[in-house]
Structure 1
Amino acid sequence: MSIKMIAVDMDGTFLDDQKEYNRERFEVLFRQLQEKGIKFVVASGNQYDQLKSFFPELHGEMSFVSENGANIIVEGEDYYNAKLPMEKVLEVLAGIKKLEPTVTIVCGKKSAYVSKEISEDIFNSAKFYYPSIKKLEQLEDITQENDEILKIALSFSAIGIDAKLADLSNVLAGEMTPVSSGHGDIDLIIPGVHKAHGLAKLSEEWKIDPAEIAAFGDSGNDIEMLEHAGASFAMANAQEKVKQASKEIIGSNNQESVLDTIELLLQA
């Protein structure tokens, strides 16, 4: 089957280590994708406001499966968002405290939220990924914000992250699913609401078979998407379990490997 949708993760995949990509080359490829009727989808754990900033001229012409599938935007229009019941948010916040994450971010449709106790350095770092972010007296005050909660993002030391994932699975007991997003970061997602779930919704809308999807990723939160897609590509810098979930391993995120592969797909 020919490819009708291309889905790319951003950090460690589409973006290089300087959080950049070859914009001129991509725009040429993007226009070629449009000419062939191939949908381009950004699929990331990050906030939509951050993701669209990478495509200032083009974001209104593409689709975003943001917040690991919990918030989908199609050509600038809201398409779908999941919602975690507020009582569950409070239960999860209480449960994860004993694991002592270095950062806890509650991610909503309107904004992300952190405790005012966060250091300024960490706050500024978080703001890169969540440009719409707000400090609360305490995270439990989220109940007063009239927002729809999509996920919870945690940071730990990158050492022993598999053990942290196991600990979180035990603490959460199926209420939320912990997935690695790289470099010691873990997203707590609503069970079943992941990147593949988002792609499936768009596939249904656009009448695209999973076999007609090409997906690119590097971290644990990409695994479902890579397993869902007919053509799946793990980066050379990907986690080992991500490589095992993919049909092909390509170069690193610092080598324009995603753009090289898109070019090959267009030629095919």
Structure 2
Amino acid sequence: MEIKVRDLVMRYGRAEVLNIRSLDFEKGTSYGLVGHNGAGKTTFFKCMTNIIANYQGEILIDDISVKQHNEVLLNVGIVLDGMSVYSNRSGWFNIQYFSGLRGNFDEEKARDLARELDLYAVLDQKVKTYSYGMQKKLILLIALMHKPEVLILDEPFRGLDIDTVKWFKKYLKQLTEEGLTLVISSHVQNDLEALCDIVYVIDRGRIAETIDINVEKEKQIRRIETTNNTRLKEILDEVNYYYQVDAEDGVKLDISDERWALVKQRLIEDAIEISELSKVKILDEKLN
């Protein structure tokens, strides 16, 4: 399934919190959404899933309006930060109930997923006895039950143990290879770099940048410290070499550039030593 966002504007009173003119999510592709707290990520997810419907513009899934045809969300798995289930009922009741709403409860699949998520032994217990992490696993299980064509995940790894995160990442990779459209946010940038093809940067409710993770992985961005960073920057300017300077005066640049050999030679000639040459994470380089 494909998602199209067109002329989306959302306001709380006079405050405009979203203004997204055009955004696309293609079938079988993984998308990340990043931004600082208050940038509009959660509001955007709530609009996508019709929790908020008083926005202007259109959100279309396979050219069907989410606002006008809520039933299109039956093919969408949704995990939003802060979601809850019936805490006075058992985990098993919740799985059966929410799966039944979609009309396709598969008991064998439910048991298999529960084993993978290490929930099987507690399915008959009331959810209010679960830890935060166990409740998060239950919500993930429910979202995965009906083999969704779209998964919308807001901070899905928060509260999960390392083994569950590893399994879930592998499972998501498998689903996208089978045609799933994945839209995910995470405050852990490594998660997005590992999972996503495209990352949209949202800032004050607008899409500020689109990052092609696969293209960025081909680059060799490094952070460099030398015994004379001032002279290093002069050399880079002299050879017209693009670079950035971080808050600690470290220099970030792409060493796959053919001019890097020339820069190193000039440093040697000026008796300047490289004291640090470290790899920069893709989203760190883009967002900081």
TM-score where L is the length of structure 1: 0.30
TM-score where L is the length of structure 2: 0.29
